[in-house]
Amino acid sequence: MSTQRRDTTKKGDKARKRILETASAMMAERGPDGVSMREISMRLKVTKPVIYYYFKNKEELIRAAFLEGTRHFHEIHARIKEPGLTLEQRLDVIFSGYLDLIKRYPDLPKCALKIMASPSSGVLATMAMELKKQNQKTIEETLGTEAEKEGFSKAGIAALLHLVSAVIRNFMIEARESGMRGLDKALPRRLAKAVSAGARALALTLLLLPSGPGSASALDLTVDEAVATALKNNAAVVTAEEARLIYKEKIREYWGTVFPQLSAGGQYTRNISAPSFFLAGNKIKVGLKHAYSGSLDLDQVLWSGGKVRTGIRMANMYAADSEEQLKTARSGVAKAVKQMYYSVLLSSAFASIQMESLSLARQHLATIEAQYRQGVASDLSVLRQTVEVSNTEPALTQAQNLYESGLIEFKNLLGLDPETDMNLTGELACSPARDENLEKLYKAALLNRPEYRDARIRRDLYRETIKLERAGHFPYLGAFASRQFQGQTDSGFPKGPQRAWSTTAGLRLSLPIFSGGSTSSKVRQARLQAEIADTELRELERKIKISVKKAWLGLKEASIRLESQTTSVETARKVLAATEVRFKNGLASQLELNDASLALNRSRTLFTQARHDACSADAELRWTLGE
């Protein structure tokens, strides 16, 4: 009894394997959507119930065909991770494993590619992509670690991985075009040895090559890294930074007036004709041929009506003002970079949507052409779908062009060369709308916005200017001291009685009496400027509140729209999948099929636009709050 059960099981396994192999071969040629269970049964020369005995529906059959190959990948991963293997031995395991997989399932690689390109097999496409990523990651990590142990540089590891990918692709191309004749069993070992040695030689060549703009690797940027790059290179930020340094020097300049001023001077005079003067009608000559004089003078301000103290205070305020101007420039650049970053991501996403729409249109064209060959569809249906494909292609080209143009503008904003190779690694995934009370947001904005603090400093500066100009009405009191030298001689330098020293010290008082009203006019001008600054400050406060509320409402609206669109894409996909099934069974028209495709395109577009708007509005709100 048990022998009979084993025989039955063995026969069942063979039948199941035969079904999987036949289905994989057919799907490799036409894709999962182009093959029906009826066609598979006809190819196998069995009835459909026989297939349904092993697989309850077509999706389960496709999934089983796909999973059959994934088990082999897991076996390869386990073998290359075994300890004690050299790099060459691990390469041999990889190449042998792939060669064995292609021999056992010659149609599996092509079938997997068809599954990934099929829009109606979303779950399987995701599985295929995940398997591809997992396989690539495992190979890169395992080979990278082993190559590093054997002294490979980063360039050598990169060269090694490129060579491995090239060998695997060559296996698949050779098997598809020439069959397995050119892929003998000894080939993996020979290739493992050649790749190992070739990677080392290629790495050495890369090290010896001169570096240039074209040899640099792509610049991967998150949104925060993009902001940091712009803050280093943007001209507005650099100018604000330099202005800040100027005002710091202004502080030192004003402090210089507080300290004593020391100066020295000297003079030499040659008396070609000796000077004379008259005394009681008699002419008396004075002075000798050579006259020398010199002095060392010290001046110290004691009181100037508060002008010095006010000047120092204003210098500090100018320095604080320049700090706020720098923060304003940095904040504006950061907001612009974030919003441009999200715009480029939006353009990239739109290009992907149009690419999927074009792929869908082509898939549907292939389905209709298959129906036409079977006599189910008319040539008019084929022509209509051909037109649909043609109408979709320009939209993809336009979306790709918008992405490239946006990327150039973004590089310009970052201060980078337009030929810089760049990848934006961020996503359109931002925080939802805030629930804070608007009054709290207003207070936070007025506390943190650098331009508001800058306006307050400028108003206070004009108030200080009033004090500075008013000091012109007050006396000036200063102290001075001087050490002087004089000497005359007819030859040489004065000595002994021919020279004299003197020292003086005292106070100097200056009292302004009348200046034609200029000082009073300057005071009035300063008061008017302070009043204007007060008005501008109130107006800025009003504008900040308006900008905060608009940004808050914008983020709230975008978040609500994003929430409402989140499920629409999945719903549209399900509707399209159902419509495709009905269309293949003759229960839906071509118009319904294209309408379902258009609905999916629109849902994805609206969802992506909502994600972008939420990110852009979030950046706007953060800027209005001074974050």
Read off the pLDDT of residues 218-277 as tens digits, 9 standing for 90 and up: 677 788 888 887 777 766 676 766 666 776 776 677 677 777 888 899 998 888 887 777
Band (214; pLDDT cuts 50, 70, 90): very low
The Cα 252–Cα 258 span in angstroms is 10
Pairwise CA distance, residues 64 & 47, whole Å: 20
User: What pairs with residue 265 in β-bridges?
Assistant: 295
State the average pLDDT over residues 545-565. Answer: 84
Tell how strand 219-221 and strand 422-424 pair up. parallel
Classify burial at 273, counting beta carbons within 10 Å of its beta carbon; exposed 0-12, middle 13-18, buried 19 or more.
Answer: exposed
236 within 8 A of 333, measured Cβ to Cβ: yes
Residues 6+ apart with CB under 8 A from 366: 30, 31, 33, 34
CA 217 to chain centre: 16
CB contact at 8 A, 469 and 544: no
* Residue 32: band (very low, low, confident or very high) from pLDDT cuts 50, 70, 90: low
Report whether 130 contacts 67 (CB < 8 A).
no
Bridge partners, 266 (sequence order): 294
Contact between 217 and 421 under an 8 Å Cβ cutoff? The reply is: yes
Nearest 5°: phi and psi at 81? -90, -5
CATH code for the part of the protein at 260-303+475-511: 2.20.200
What is the tens place of the pLDDT at every residue in 511-544?
887 777 777 888 888 888 888 888 888 888 888 8
Taking Cα atoms as reference points, which of 330, 321, 540 lies closest to residue 442? 540
Q: What residue ranges in 271-376 does DSSP mark as E strands?
A: 276-279, 282-285, 290-303
Written in H, E and C, the secondary structure of 83-147 is: CCCCHHHHHHHHHHHHHHHHHHCCCHHHHHHHHHHCCCCHHHHHHHHHHHHHHHHHHHHHHHHHH
Cβ atoms 148, 157 nearer than 8 A: yes
Contact 453, 324 (CB under 8 A): yes
Give 78-121 pLDDT, tens digit per residue: 777 777 778 778 888 887 877 777 776 666 555 555 554 554 44
Q: What is the dihedral of CA 359, 398, 609, 572, to 10 degrees?
A: -20
Which residues, 6 or more positions from 569, have their beta carbon under 8 angstroms from its beta carbon? Answer: 600, 603, 604, 607
The type of residue at 570 is: E
> At residue 285, what are phi and psi to the nearest 5 degrees?
-85, 140
Q: Write the DSSP assignment of 41-77 as a string of letters.
A: HHHHTS-HHHHHHH-SSHHHHHHHHHHHHHHHHHHHH
Q: Phi, psi at residue 51, to the nearest 5°?
A: -65, -40
Sign of CA dihedral 253, 254, 260, 264: positive
Q: What is the structure's pLDDT at 177?
A: 55
Output 315 or 591, whichever has higher pLDDT: 591
Residue 518, Cβ density class (10 Å: 0-12 exposed, 13-18 middle, ≥19 buried): exposed
Q: Which two tokens stand for residue 111?
A: 């079938």
What average pLDDT does the chain have?
A: 76
- Residue 128 or 341, more confident: 341
Domain 12-210, classified CATH 3.30.479.30, yes or no? no
Which candidate, 395, 330, 308, places its Cα nearest to that of 597?
395
Question: Over the stretch 486-504, which tens digit does the pLDDT of each residue have?
Answer: 888 888 888 888 888 999 9
Q: What is the DSSP letter of 289?
A: S
Q: What pLDDT, on a 0 to 100 scale, did the predictor assign at position 155?
A: 66
Residue 69 pLDDT more than 80?
A: no
* Percent of the chain's residues with pLDDT above 70: 79
Quote the CA–CA distance of 256 and 262 in Å, as a whole number: 12
Contact 66, 129 (CB under 8 A): no
pLDDT of residue 211: 44
Helix H or strand E segment including 360: helix 307-373
Q: How confident is the model at residue 208 (pLDDT cuts 50, 70, 90)?
A: very low
Strands 422-424 and 476-489: unpaired
Domain boundaries, the chain: 12-210, 260-303+475-511
Confidence label for 127 from pLDDT (cuts 50, 70 and 90): low
- Bridge partners (DSSP) listed for residue 261: 299
Give the model confidence (pLDDT) of 151-207 as tens digits: 676 666 777 777 777 777 666 666 655 555 556 667 777 777 777 766 655 554 444
The percent of residues in the chain predicted with pLDDT above 90, rounded, is 2
pLDDT of 1 over the 60 cut: no
Given its phi and psi angles, is residue 179 left (phi above 0), alpha (psi -120 to 50 degrees) or beta? Answer: left
Alpha carbons 16 and 22: distance in angstroms, whole number: 10
pLDDT of residue 132: 66
pLDDT computed for residue 452 by the predictor: 83
Encode burial over 139-167: b for 16+ CB neighbours within 10 A, e otherwise: bbebbbebbeeeebeebbbbbbbebbeeb
For range 504-509, the mean pLDDT = 86
Q: What is the structure's pLDDT at 212?
A: 43
CB of 604 within 8 A of CB of 575?
Answer: no
pTM comes to 0.53
pLDDT at site 213 = 42
- Range scoring the smallest mean pLDDT among 120-129, 397-406, 580-589: 120-129
Q: Is the pLDDT of residue 4 over 60?
A: no
pLDDT band at 484 (very low <50, low <70, confident <90, very high): very high
The amino acid present at 586, given as its one-letter code, is G
Average the pLDDT over 583-594 and give the result. 80
Exposure on the CB side of residue 154, measured as CA atoms within 13 A? 1
- Judged by average pLDDT, the poorest of 144-153, 389-398, 405-414 is 144-153
Structure tokens at 587: 């229960």
pLDDT band, residue 296 (cuts 50/70/90): very high
| Number of Cβ atoms within 10 Å of the Cβ of 72 | 16
Spatial separation of the C-alpha atoms in residues 439 and 422, rounded to whole Å: 42
Q: What is the mean pLDDT of residues 391-401?
A: 79
